[in-house]
Chains A and B, each alone.
Chain A
Amino acid sequence: MTECQDIELEQSRRDSLYRTIRLIRRFEERCLDLVKSGDLVSGIHPCIGQEAVATGVAAALDGEDIMFSSHRGHGHFLAKGSDPSTFLAELLGRANGIDRGRGGSFHPSDFTRNIYNATGTVGHSAAIAAGAAWSVAQAGTGQVVTCFFGDGAVSQGALLEGFNLASLWRLPVIYICENNQYATSLPVGAAVAGTITGRGEAFGIPSVTVDGQDVEVVLAAMTGAVRRARAGDGPTLIEADTYRYFGHHTFEFKVRLDYRSEDELARWRCRDPLEIAAGRVSPQVRSEIDADVEAVLDEAVRFALDGARLDPADAQEYTYTTGPQPRAGAL
C-alpha cells in the first residue's frame, strides 16, 4: 500500500480545489450545450461526476510535470492549467485551438502545460508514459509523469507491458485509473478478473484504491505517490473510485442505452465531488468563484465560436516535421 497523507489544507488551497472542480463541471456543461447546438461536432466523452480525480491529481503536481490524458480528458487539461478558451476552440476544431484543430476533443495535447497527448487506443499510454519517465529520469530533471486511463484499460495487454517497464526500472510515473464503473456499457465486474490494484501489485507497484469523489483524498494519495516518484522509488498505481453522470459519449443522448439504473445514478449523485468540495468553502467565496468561472467560460465560448474555420487545403499540414509533401488524393 502506498502512504495516504493526512493533510490539513489551507483555506486558500481548498478554495482553489473547488474552483477547479467548478470550472471543469461548468466547462463540460457548456460543451454539452455546444454538442446539442451542433457547434461541437465530434461530441465529447463527458467527465461530469469525475472532476475530483483530475483536480486532486493535478494539485499535487508542478507545472513542469508531464501528463498523459485519456479520451475522457477535458478535466485533466483544465486542472493542469490549460487555457479554457484555446482548449474549447480546439474541441470545436477551430484555427485558434490549442492544437490548431488537429487534436479535437478526443486527442488533444498542450505542451505549454506538458500534457503530451490523449491517446485513443485505450491503455496504450502506459508504456508511452514510461518512456517519457525514463527520459526525464535519465536527464535528472526531477519531473514526474502522470498517466490517466479508465477501468476498461486494465484488460489491455499493452497497459500491463507499460507497468512492467515502469516498475522494472523504477521510473517516476504515476498511473491513475479512473474507475468510473463502466467501459462504455460494460460494468467493471463483468470485465475485470481479480482487482485493478492487483494488476499493479503483480508488477511490484504500490497500488491503492481511493475515494475519487473527494478531491482531498485524491490529493493525499497523489502527494505520497509524487514523493515516491521524485525520490526515485518508482511508480505508483492509484485507482480512484468514481462515476460518470452521463454516457460514455454524447451519442448516448440519441442512442439510449439502458445499462445503468436510476437508483445507481442517484446513489452516486449523493456523493457529488462538486458538493463535497463546496462544503469546505464559505458560501460567499463559493458564489464569487462561481461568478468568476461563468465569466471565464462566457469568454471561452465567445473565443471558440469566433475562431476561424480551418482551410481544407491545410488538412495535411503538420503531418511531418520535415520532408515529404504528401500527394493529393486527386490530380
Chain B
Amino acid sequence: MPRLSYLKALNRALGDEMDADESVFVMGEDMNFALTNVTAGFLQRFGPQRVLEMPLSEQGFTNFATGAAMAGRRPVVEFQIPFLLLLVFEQITNQANKFRLMSGGQTSVPVTYLMPASGVRTGWGAQHSDQPYSLFAHMGVKTVMPATPTDAYGLLITAIRDDDPVIFFGPLACMGVREDVDYADLLPIPLGEARLHRSGTDVTVVAVGQLVHDAIAVADELAGEVSVEVFDPRTIYPFDWAALAESLQRTGRLVVFDDGNRFAGLGAEVLATAAEQMHLVAAPRRISRPDAAIVGASPDLDAGLLPTRQQLTSAISAVLKG
C-alpha cells in the first residue's frame, strides 16, 4: 500500500481537481519553481495559464482571485506564510466573503486559500509564526485544518468544489506526516464533519492541526489509565457541534488543545458552547498559546508559549478530578 505524505496529498488533491475541472487554477508566489512543493510538477502538467506566477502583491492577487471567481473560475491561492493572511484579511473577510450576501445571492465567490499553518518552523521569527485560524472563523469564513494526509486530500477537494471562499490551513508540522493509503479510498470529506481518532469514555480532547497527533500520543500513553476520546473537528468553521455534543454525552469532561492565542480563541468558543448547551460533569479546560503570544524568535522562548503534551496530560487529570 502506498505511503502518502500530507504534502503529497495536497499535491494530489489539487492536481486531481485541476484534471477534473478546467475552471480550477492555482496562483501564488514562486509557482515557477513550486517552492513549497504543493504544486510540484504542475507547470509542466497544466501550463502557465493554470499555474499563475504572481508578483509580490498579496493584496492585489487575493482580490484578483475574487474577480476571477465571480467571472466563472475557481482559483486556488497559495500562500507561503500564515501571517500573509493578516495582510489579506480585508480582501478575504470584507470582500470575497461578503459578495454573495451583498448581491442577495446573485453571485458566489469560489476561492480556496491554501495556507501553511505555523506549526511552528523553529526560530522563523515573530512575523512568520502566528496561527490566525480563529480570526477567520470569527468572521464567518469557512475554515478547515486537517491533521492527516487522508483528511487533507478529502478536505482540499471539498474546499475547491465549495462555491464559497474556504481557507485551508495545512500545518507545516504535519507536512511530513505519512499514512498508508489505498488511492481508491481517497474521497472528498464534507465540511463540518469531525473525526474521532480515538474513542473514549472518560474525557473528550478536542485537538486541531498538528496537536491532533500530540493528543493521540497522550491518549495512547494514558491508555489503561484514562479512556481519552480524541476529537478532531477537521473543520474549524462550521464546527461539528452535534458530534461534540454526542461525545460529551458519553464523557461529560472536556479539554481543548488549541494552537491559537487564548483570548477569544477556538478554545474559548468550544468551552463556551459546551458550557451553554452540552453535558458537562466537570469544569472544562483549554490549553492554548497565552494571550498576546508572539512566537518564533528563539526555540527556548517558544517553549514558554506553545501548547505541550505535558500541559494536556495535566489538564486531563484536572478535569478528571473536577
User: For B72, what are the chain A residues with a Cβ–Cβ distance below 8 Å?
Assistant: 135, 139
Q: Of residues A121, A135, A162, which shows the largest number of chain B Cβ atoms within 10 Å of its Cβ? A: A135
Q: Which of A126-161 contact B (CB under 8 A)?
A: 126-136, 138-139, 157-158, 161
The answer to whether the Cβ of A80 comes within 8 Å of any Cβ in the partner chain is no
**Contact residue range for chain A?**
35 or more
With A138-B49, A161-B57, A331-B277 already in contact, the answer to whether A127 and B64 are too (CB < 8 A) is: yes
The answer to whether the Cβ of B310 comes within 8 Å of any Cβ in the partner chain is no
The answer to whether the Cβ of B316 comes within 8 Å of any Cβ in the partner chain is no
Contact of B192 among A110, A136, A164, A323 (CB under 8 A): A323
User: For A158, what are the chain B residues with a Cβ–Cβ distance below 8 Å?
Assistant: 59-60, 63
User: For B110, what are the chain A residues with a Cβ–Cβ distance below 8 Å?
Assistant: 321
User: For B106, what are the chain A residues with a Cβ–Cβ distance below 8 Å?
Assistant: 99, 109-111
The answer to whether the Cβ of B238 comes within 8 Å of any Cβ in the partner chain is yes
Is there an interface contact between B191 and A97, defined as CB atoms closer than 8 Å? no
The answer to whether the Cβ of B90 comes within 8 Å of any Cβ in the partner chain is yes
Rounded to whole Å, the gap between the CB of A147 and the closest CB of chain B is 9
Contact of A116 among B57, B59, B65, B70 (CB under 8 A): B70
User: For B195, what are the chain A residues with a Cβ–Cβ distance below 8 Å?
Assistant: none
With A131-B65, A324-B192 already in contact, the answer to whether A66 and B71 are too (CB < 8 A) is: yes
Is there an interface contact between A131 and B63, defined as CB atoms closer than 8 Å? yes
Complex Cα distance A28/B273, Å?
Answer: 48
The answer to whether the Cβ of B95 comes within 8 Å of any Cβ in the partner chain is yes
With A124-B95, A323-B192, A326-B140 already in contact, the answer to whether A331 and B276 are too (CB < 8 A) is: yes
Rounded to whole Å, the gap between the CB of B193 and the closest CB of chain A is 11
The answer to whether the Cβ of B73 comes within 8 Å of any Cβ in the partner chain is yes
Segment from A100-108, A237-245, A270-278 that makes contact with B: A100-108
Rounded to whole Å, the gap between the CB of A34 and the closest CB of chain B is 20
With A162-B63, A324-B142 already in contact, the answer to whether A124 and B91 are too (CB < 8 A) is: yes
Contact of A102 among B91, B94, B104, B142 (CB under 8 A): B104
With A135-B67, A136-B71, A324-B237 already in contact, the answer to whether A117 and B55 are too (CB < 8 A) is: no
Is there an interface contact between A127 and B59, defined as CB atoms closer than 8 Å? yes
The answer to whether the Cβ of B2 comes within 8 Å of any Cβ in the partner chain is no
Is there an interface contact between A323 and B238, defined as CB atoms closer than 8 Å? yes
Contact of B104 among A100, A132, A321 (CB under 8 A): A100
Q: Mark B43-79, 1 if CB is under 8 A from A, else 0.
A: 0000001000001010111111111111111010000
The answer to whether the Cβ of A42 comes within 8 Å of any Cβ in the partner chain is no
User: For B62, what are the chain A residues with a Cβ–Cβ distance below 8 Å?
Assistant: 127
Rounded to whole Å, the gap between the CB of A158 and the closest CB of chain B is 5
The answer to whether the Cβ of B163 comes within 8 Å of any Cβ in the partner chain is yes
The answer to whether the Cβ of B202 comes within 8 Å of any Cβ in the partner chain is no
User: For A127, what are the chain B residues with a Cβ–Cβ distance below 8 Å?
Assistant: 59-64, 67
Is there an interface contact between B63 and A319, defined as CB atoms closer than 8 Å? no
**Contact residue range for chain B?**
35 or more
Rounded to whole Å, the gap between the CB of A42 and the closest CB of chain B is 13
Is there an interface contact between B102 and A165, defined as CB atoms closer than 8 Å? no
Is there an interface contact between B101 and A117, defined as CB atoms closer than 8 Å? no
Rounded to whole Å, the gap between the CB of B49 and the closest CB of chain A is 7
User: For B55, what are the chain A residues with a Cβ–Cβ distance below 8 Å?
Assistant: 164-165, 168
Is there an interface contact between B107 and A109, defined as CB atoms closer than 8 Å? yes
Is there an interface contact between A129 and B237, defined as CB atoms closer than 8 Å? no
With A124-B95, A127-B61, A158-B63 already in contact, the answer to whether A319 and B101 are too (CB < 8 A) is: yes
Is there an interface contact between B68 and A135, defined as CB atoms closer than 8 Å? yes
Q: Of residues B69, B70, B110, which shows the largest number of chain A Cβ atoms within 10 Å of its Cβ? A: B70
Rounded to whole Å, the gap between the CB of A205 and the closest CB of chain B is 15
User: For A323, what are the chain B residues with a Cβ–Cβ distance below 8 Å?
Assistant: 142, 162, 164, 191-192, 238
Rounded to whole Å, the gap between the CB of A124 and the closest CB of chain B is 6
Contact of B68 among A120, A131, A157, A321 (CB under 8 A): A131
Rounded to whole Å, the gap between the CB of A64 and the closest CB of chain B is 12
Q: Mark B160-194, 1 if CB is under 8 A from A, else 0.
A: 00111000000000000000000000000001100
With A97-B104, A100-B104, A331-B276 already in contact, the answer to whether A129 and B140 are too (CB < 8 A) is: no
User: For B101, what are the chain A residues with a Cβ–Cβ distance below 8 Å?
Assistant: 102, 316, 318-319
Sample of 17 further A-B pairs with CB below 8 A, known A116-B107, A124-B63, A318-B103: A98-B104, A101-B104, A109-B102, A117-B107, A124-B59, A127-B61, A127-B62, A127-B63, A128-B66, A128-B70, A131-B68, A131-B71, A133-B67, A134-B68, A161-B57, A161-B59, A168-B55
Binding site for A on B (CB under 8 A): 49, 55, 57, 59-73, 75, 90-91, 94-95, 98-108, 110, 140, 142, 162-164, 191-192, 237-238, 276-277
Q: Pull 13 A–B residue pairs with CB atoms less than 8 Å apart, ordered by A.
A: A66-B71, A102-B101, A116-B107, A117-B102, A131-B64, A131-B65, A134-B67, A165-B61, A318-B100, A318-B103, A320-B142, A322-B162, A323-B191
Binding site for B on A (CB under 8 A): 66, 97-103, 107-111, 116-117, 119-121, 124-136, 138-139, 157-158, 161-162, 164-165, 168, 316-324, 326, 331
Please give me the 3 A-B residue pairs with the lowest Cβ-Cβ distance, nearest first: A161-B60, A131-B67, A135-B71
